[in-house]
């Protein structure tokens, strides 16, 4: 369909080869020596670099020039590369910057691609996309790829495509290829359980997901303290650091990668055998994209949720939305390990910082938020203080009891979260 010139809207499972689907016809179509004939928008810097790398491979014999543009990198080399590039891959913000400066002329673009379009909408790029699109000629081909189709994305789709062909394949990994599990624990035992599972499962390559940059940094440092070869990746790291981490992970220099959801969309991490959800994401779609990092291209994989009481509602949303079947695994003889939080600093988001052994009250300030007191804080600590009061009261919640929740078993009357859960 793409080779025939149709506008195409594609929805398919992660790892199904969307980059090849649009990249190969694009390389065939683009003429060497004619400036910026194709523009590809993506939500993250990592995905921009990955697609650029793939297009370079596809076009090696044709000798095309592909320029990647993204924030957090010097403008000069990007400006120089755009001058001779037939294809530009970039994030919306940096593409807009180049257009405003006059260093990127999109008036000759004949193919406009939006990859991971739903993620771009979630990240607030809808206005940027529409602004960029208005300067691209109407007699172009538009290709849009997305895992989901929200109402906001549907309005963009209807505005920027014409008589588009719609292709939708399976959007989830097959159950026989990806086994999903959960393991219950108290919140203050999560890290100890994580280390226990890592040692028991012994993944060839493992990917651990956390919901915040702070958690990523803390988990990574504590894994290292316990002799596990781990690295962190999230949006607060300098770009060169993120690229270095991804390269090491691809080359086998890292055993375990700890990430926020920035790593869940689009990035092709090969040969990941295990996904560990240290925390359950608020959006069920993010859970699907997380577990889609394994069991790719016909390989087998395993996904494990570390389930504490505050995660129950979020996991229930996931299994109700997608009819997943998560089997329970039990961990015994878990060694209680220290979880150090001392002197944590996050300079990537307004200078936040905290000291001490727990995360609790915050004092709002200008670049000086502090996180230190326990006060039954979010994490509590490993001696059992902190999170106890809220956990105990949760087990007597009438709404939970009415749905079959067992205070003793800490679960909904069944040994599996999934098709038997109602």
* Fold match, 8-168 / 178-340: yes
Whole-number pLDDT of residue 412: 39
**What are the domain boundaries of the chain?**
8-168, 178-340
226 within 8 A of 358, measured Cβ to Cβ = no
Beta bridge pairs of residue 41: 90, 114
CATH superfamily of 178-340: P-loop containing nucleotide triphosphate hydrolases (3.40.50.300)
Is 138 exposed, middle or buried (CB count within 10 Å of its CB: 0-12, 13-18, 19+)?
A: exposed
Whole-number pLDDT of residue 243: 82
Residue 66 pLDDT exceeds 60: yes
List the CATH code of the domain at 8-168: 3.40.50.300
What percent of the chain clears pLDDT 70, i.e. is strictly above it? 77
340 within 8 A of 226, measured Cβ to Cβ = no
**Per-residue pLDDT tens digits for 374-403:** 332 333 333 333 333 333 333 334 333 333
What percent of the chain clears pLDDT 90, i.e. is strictly above it? 56
178 within 8 A of 303, measured Cβ to Cβ = yes
Residue 39 pLDDT exceeds 70: yes
Is the pTM here over 0.75, yes or no?
no
Cα separations in angstroms, 34 against 38, 109, 134, 235, 264: 10, 10, 21, 34, 35
Q: What are phi and psi of 42, to 5 degrees?
A: -140, 160
């Amino acid at each position: 369909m793409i080779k025939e010139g149709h506008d195409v809207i594609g929805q398919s499972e992660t790892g199904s080869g969307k980059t090849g689907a649009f990249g190969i016809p694009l390389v065939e179509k683009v003429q060497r020596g004619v400036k910026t004939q194709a523009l590809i928008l993506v939500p993250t810097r990592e995905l921009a670099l990955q697609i650029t790398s793939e297009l370079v491979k596809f076009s090696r014999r044709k000798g095309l020039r592909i320029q990647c543009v993204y924030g957090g990198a010097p403008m000069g080399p990007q400006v120089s590369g755009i001058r001779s590039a037939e294809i530009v891959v970039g994030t919306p913000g940096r593409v807009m910057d180049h257009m405003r400066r006059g260093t990127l002329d999109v008036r000759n673009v004949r193919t406009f691609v939006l990859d991971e379009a739903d993620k771009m909408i979630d990240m607030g790029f809808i206005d940027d996309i529409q602004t960029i699109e208005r300067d691209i000629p109407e007699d172009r081909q538009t290709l849009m790829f997305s895992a989901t189709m929200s109402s906001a994305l549907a309005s963009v789709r209807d505005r920027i495509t014409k008589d588009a062909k719609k292709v939708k394949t399976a959007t989830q990994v097959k159950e026989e290829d990806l086994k999903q599990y959960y393991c219950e624990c108290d919140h203050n035992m999560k890290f100890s359980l994580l280390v226990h599972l890592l040692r028991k499962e012994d993944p060839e390559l493992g990917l651990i997901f956390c919901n915040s940059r702070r958690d990523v940094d803390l988990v990574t440092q504590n894994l290292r303290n316990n002799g596990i070869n781990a690295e962190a990746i999230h949006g607060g790291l300098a770009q060169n650091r993120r690229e270095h981490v991804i390269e090491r992970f691809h080359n086998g220099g890292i055993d375990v990668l700890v990430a926020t959801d920035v790593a869940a969309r689009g990035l092709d991490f090969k040969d990941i055998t295990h996904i560990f959800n240290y925390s359950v994401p608020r959006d069920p779609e993010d859970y699907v994209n997380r577990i889609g990092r394994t069991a790719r291209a016909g390989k087998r994989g395993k996904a494990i949720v570390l389930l504490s009481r505050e995660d129950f509602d979020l996991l229930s949303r996931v299994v109700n939305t997608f009819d997943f079947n998560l089997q329970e695994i039990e961990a015994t003889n878990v060694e209680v390990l220290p979880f150090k939080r001392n002197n944590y600093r996050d300079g990537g988001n307004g200078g936040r910082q905290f000291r001490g052994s727990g995360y609790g009250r915050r004092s709002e300030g200008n670049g000086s938020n502090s996180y230190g007191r326990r006060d039954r804080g979010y994490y509590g600590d490993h001696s059992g203080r902190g999170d106890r009061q809220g956990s105990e009261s949760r087990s007597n919640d009438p709404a939970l009891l009415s749905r079959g929740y067992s205070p003793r078993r800490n679960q909904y009357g069944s040994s599996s979260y999934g098709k038997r859960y109602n």
